[in-house]
Amino acid sequence: MVFIMKNAKYKFKNAVHFQNKLLVCPKCLEAVNYIDIENFRYCPYCDYSFEHCHELEDFLLQPVVEHWMRQYSYCLRDESHYNRPALF
């Protein structure tokens, strides 16, 4: 399943064995994980240079934001007992 946005530069797809979506390289059509291009903007299979754009930035930041949100919601649950009225 490939998701294409109108006027989108890159294509993304969801994989069963990955939690996050994968980026499809426009040159070799290989599915690339965000970890593969996090530090170097090149396809590990064909050395295609990914051009910096909002789609690529969202793709790279999505796992970080999701992790932060899970951590934050965990902290909120942990601190919920502080907001309860005292029994004494």
Give pLDDT tens digits for 28-55: 999 998 888 888 889 999 999 998 888 8
Is the pLDDT higher at 63 or at 43? 43
Q: How confident is the model at residue 85 (pLDDT cuts 50, 70, 90)?
A: low
Query: CA torsion angle for 43, 7, 4, 35 (degrees, to 10)?
Result: 30
Looking up tokens 């240079």 gives 49
Report the chain's mean pLDDT, rounded to a whole number. Answer: 78
Residue 57 has pLDDT above 70, yes or no: yes
- Tokens, residue 29: 């059509």
β-pairing, 2-3 vs 21-24, is unpaired
